[in-house]
Structure 1
């Protein structure tokens, strides 16, 4: 079956509703598009990516919208292909950042816990070879760091902390959490550092 044919404006709408946590509008738009395309709402969610390959999950996790995230993942529960949900959970944008990366950098602990419970992989590295734990450390979200360390039963906490220290070398964060080096990945995730930010940033859509 051919993938859903979504216009740029339709994708922008979906990403906007996910980013602002407007679950009602997101649900109604997903339903309408699924009916038109004769596919599931899960397939619409999987197909909706912006020009930087960010998904609705990126937008919701980057802004801490837990209920919206729960709604989206619920669309995959009864799908015959169990890998479909995993692919959505672990989808990386053009910089390799997943929804778990964005939630970790933003310090949204409850979102991180939920994503992990749903099966999101904490071991996936982005194009700078940083895993979500690294980004939580860069953003000084130490409750998230502590959570990851507590979950990594096979690692010694001391060794993990030393690894974070090494990974963080050369990365300097300003008061807004943006890397002073100004590389593309820091731009990609910068807006997630501001809890409740719905103005967007690199990798987000606007409306």
Structure 2
């Protein structure tokens, strides 16, 4: 029988990743992997929001939980760091083409940006608007992220990032992301169960600045 995660399982994983509840996430991760007899890699492949395409790494990156990202990357580094299946997860795009690195960058979470780049995130990937992660950071005035990536992110990286499609798009960051369902925009759609859980601990629904 193929592994299966229920909607509640996925909601719980995404919620814990978004809220940064590392202990609870770790326990649920172990429980689900044992129940379904799967590795963490397979768990993360399954744990994606059906509508937006956002996964656990998107949620953690959008909210700056660098420690959780680091832990998940360690889990994925088997048999070796930056193996192809691991890179496929880290560079996975949601329905709007955004990777976890896009969300860490545009929300200004520098430590998460550092971890993702160190673990193999590809900064040249563009979303459906033709924007890479650094360009999204520029649009949202996240100068610290932009400056670090261009000066410390790696030799030659400044030549590979920070571009768009060259179509003269001068719309605002909010307009750029208006069609996105993501963990950092007002347009995000989350289940009633997940919304209730967020409310219990005083976490607001995602906004463009979270």
- Give the TM interval when normalised to the shorter protein: 0.7 to 0.9
Query: Could you say which residue in structure 2 is the equivalent of 1:82?
Result: 83
Q: 1:33 to 1:134 in 2, by over 3 A?
A: same
5+ residue gaps in structure 2?
187-201
Confirm or deny: 8 A CA contact 1:134 1:167 kept in the other structure: no
C-alpha deviations, 1:16-60, integer Å up to 9, x for none?
000000011111111111111111123212211002111000000
Q: 1:182 to 1:107 in 2, by over 3 A?
A: closer
Deviation (angstroms), 1:76: 1.0
Query: Could you say which residue in structure 2 is the equivalent of 1:31?
Result: 30
Query: Could you say which residue in structure 1 is the equivalent of 2:115?
Result: 114
What root-mean-square deviation, in Å, do the aligned CA atoms of Structure 1 and Structure 2 show?
2.8
Greater Cα shift, 69-78 or 97-106: 69-78
Q: 1:145 to 1:29 in 2, by over 3 A?
A: same
| 3-state DSSP of counterpart to 1:94 | coil
Deviation (angstroms), 1:160: 7.3
Query: Could you say which residue in structure 2 is the equivalent of 1:138?
Result: 139
Q: 1:180 to 1:38 in 2, by over 3 A?
A: closer
Structure 2 distance, partners of 1:117, 1:56, is 18
Structure 1 distance, partners of 2:24, 2:142, is 31
Structure 1 distance, partners of 2:158, 2:42, is 40
Which of 162, 179, 188 is equivalent to 1:184?
179
Query: Could you say which residue in structure 2 is the equivalent of 1:22?
Result: 21
Structure 2 distance, partners of 1:38, 1:64, is 30
Query: Could you say which residue in structure 2 is the equivalent of 1:69?
Result: 69
Query: Which of structure 1's runs of 4+ aligned residues deviate more than 6 A?
Result: none
TM-score (ref. length: structure 1): 0.79
Structure 1 distance, partners of 2:126, 2:177, is 20
Structure 2 distance, partners of 1:9, 1:156, is 42
Structure 1 distance, partners of 2:145, 2:168, is 16
TM-score (ref. length: structure 2): 0.78
Deviation (angstroms), 1:101: 0.1
| 3-state DSSP of counterpart to 1:190 | coil
Structure 1 distance, partners of 2:24, 2:54, is 19
Structure 2 distance, partners of 1:100, 1:22, is 20
Q: Which has the higher contact order (CA 8 A, sep 6+)?
A: 1
Query: Could you say which residue in structure 1 is the equivalent of 2:198?
Result: none
